[in-house]
Amino acid sequence: MSAVVATETLIKPHGGSLVDRTGERPGDLESLEVVTLTAREVSDLDMLASGALSPLEGFMGRADYEGVVDSMRLANGLPWALPVCLAVDEAPSGERVALADESGRMLAVLEVAEVYEYDRDREAENCFRTTDEAHPGVARLYAQKPRYLAGRVTVFERPESSFPELALDPRETRAAFAERGWKRVVGFQTRNPIHRAHEYLTKVALETVDGLLVHPLVGDTKGDDVPADVRIDCYRVLLDGYYPEDRVVLSAFPAAMRYAGPREAIWHAICRKNYGCSHFIVGRDHAGVGDYYGTYDAQLIFDEFEPHALDIEPMFFEHSFFCKACGTMASAKTCPHGGDDHVFLSGTKVRELLGAGEVPPEEFTRREVAEVLIEAYSS
């Protein structure tokens, strides 16, 4: 993509400039101690490389980590909601280490700045609001190695994207927005197929800005979430049929889910700011799991920051539905009618219908999306 497109009209990256931690494979790579990363750490590494985690240039040192866990601030005072850390057993002996994925493929070099111990209970309590190991994020934290290795990274091998045509780095989404002449862009995070309710939110948001970034998370999720390839097919048929092509960019968000609910909503918003979004949709129970978080916690947490401290503007939405009496999509904010007039299906009911090869009501799911899901369920 052209690098000459002026992107100054877009929101500035978090901290002021976009980090680029890609670089050359060093000649002495073979002599370095190797640290093996988990799938989540690999996705964090890739986001460090691309600038998606700007202003971070590497895995967090203790001052940043403590500030983030305690008060959602980096050591320099900039808002930041979740640790980005690399867990190890022991301090390495050298000043630099090689970082590899679980298959042994070399990805990056880390300049060792610090190795420190951390308190799992405190991280769990502050970041996930629970120490219950049934929570997938807490379980991952408790299973992790006991020390954090901090330092700046230089990434010479990017992990292969499962969806290369959708793998746009922040500088590429920024260029795409600028080429279309957009200034105000709303980002939509999702890890589910988009049914009518979320189609409605994205369109209501789009009415007030220049463009929409549909940014599905394609990193590691729980085993029972709809697989990313099926979701991508759902997004394509929906966007092709029901959104103007020149108002939407579909791209993959390479992060792994943390299921940290409110804090992850902040973290997701900051990442999308780096991708060039000026606005970010926050629905009910954003990035939640089970019933660990209150319905509106992911919206209320934005009040813990001064207005404009994050710069990116959150757009809060209620649960929405089709109302037969209104004859339109609506929410409790815009419809005075009762539940009998609302077309609502639980997630379980939708899965039942699709599993049986039945198309849910058109007011709930677009037929084209239902067909993709039915096909996936039957194979």
Give residues in contact with Zn ion (CB under 5 A): 323, 325-326, 335, 337
CB of residue 336 to Zn ion, shortest distance in Å: 6
Catalytic residue among 73, 96, 120, 192: 192
Based on the residue annotation, tell me whether 258 is a catalytic residue of this protein: no
CB of residue 206 to Zn ion, shortest distance in Å: 22
**Of 135 and 342, CB closest to Zn ion:** 342
Residue showing tokens 């049986």: 356
**Of 50 and 320, CB closest to Zn ion:** 320
CB of residue 242 to Zn ion, shortest distance in Å: 22
- C-alpha span between 330 and 350 (Å, rounded): 20
Look at strands 114-117 and 248-250 and give their pairing: unpaired
**Of 34 and 325, CB closest to Zn ion:** 325
CB of residue 342 to Zn ion, shortest distance in Å: 7
Report the Cα 297 to chain-centroid distance in Å: 17
DSSP 216-273: EB-S---TTSPPHHHHHHHHHHHHHHHS-GGGEEE--B-PPP---THHHHHHHHHHHH
**Of 234 and 330, CB closest to Zn ion:** 330
For the chain, the C-alpha Rg in angstroms (whole number) is 21
Amino acid letter, residue 41: E
The CA-based diameter of the chain, rounded to the nearest angstrom, is 71
Contacts of 274 (CB under 8 A, 6+ apart): 13, 14, 18, 51, 52, 53, 54, 170
* Length, in residues, of the chain: 379
98, 154 contact by CB (below 8 A) = no
Bond preceding residue 314 cis, omega within 30 of 0: no
**Which residue in 319, 37, 325 sits closest to 153, CA to CA?**
37
CB of residue 257 to Zn ion, shortest distance in Å: 34
Based on the residue annotation, tell me whether 192 is a catalytic residue of this protein: yes
- Token pair for 214: 């549909």
**Of 46 and 363, CB closest to Zn ion:** 363
CB of residue 347 to Zn ion, shortest distance in Å: 22
**Of 325 and 356, CB closest to Zn ion:** 325
Active site residues: 191-192
